[in-house]
Amino acid sequence: MERRRSFPDVLAGGVFVLIGGAFVAGSLGYELGTPLRMGPGAFPLLVGAILAALGLAIVVKGLVAGEMISFGPIPWRAIGVIVLAVVFFGFTVRGLGFVPTSAVTALLTTLASSRVRPLTAVAVAAGLTVASTLIFVVGLQLRIPLWGPWLGF
């Protein structure tokens, strides 16, 4: 019988083992209490261990009889740009204010697509900034200043 190795299964299992293990390690730093009077660490320790065990089972299964899933290409450009755009938003929205932050975030995000033309990107970013200002600030009365203190006024 030929073994079917499945890279996605092993990767997923690995992620689960890693995260489960990290939570287990973290839980040990908190008070565990007794089985019947649990401390803050007990529940995450238990669930973390279950997750790690399930992850291990998935790895083993992936090595023996894995699911055949095509992993496909990875859109590195999109990942990088979207991460940058969202982190930029979180980092600057208070300092720069709603309008500049939204505009830059929208512009960066449009660049995630490799097929976008520069002019389209600018037009989309401008349109989205206007639309989101109208919806969130004018319409829903969101309490974010339009222009932030970093801009000096």
**Site residues (CB under 8 A) for other proteins, limited to 16-35:** 16, 19-20, 23, 26-27, 30-31, 34
The least CB distance from residue 151 to other proteins, in Å, is 14
CB of 10 closer than 8 Å to CB of 68? no
Residues numbered 85-124 forming contacts with other proteins, rule: CB under 8 A: 85-87, 89-91, 93-94, 98, 102, 105-106, 109-110, 112-116, 120, 124
Tokens of 5: 């190795």
Is 125 exposed, middle or buried, given 0-12, 13-18 or 19+ CB atoms closer than 10 A?
Answer: buried
The least CB distance from residue 82 to other proteins, in Å, is 6
The least CB distance from residue 95 to other proteins, in Å, is 11
Tokens of 27: 């839980």
Question: Any contact of residue 152 with other proteins (CB under 8 A)?
Answer: no
SS3 38: strand
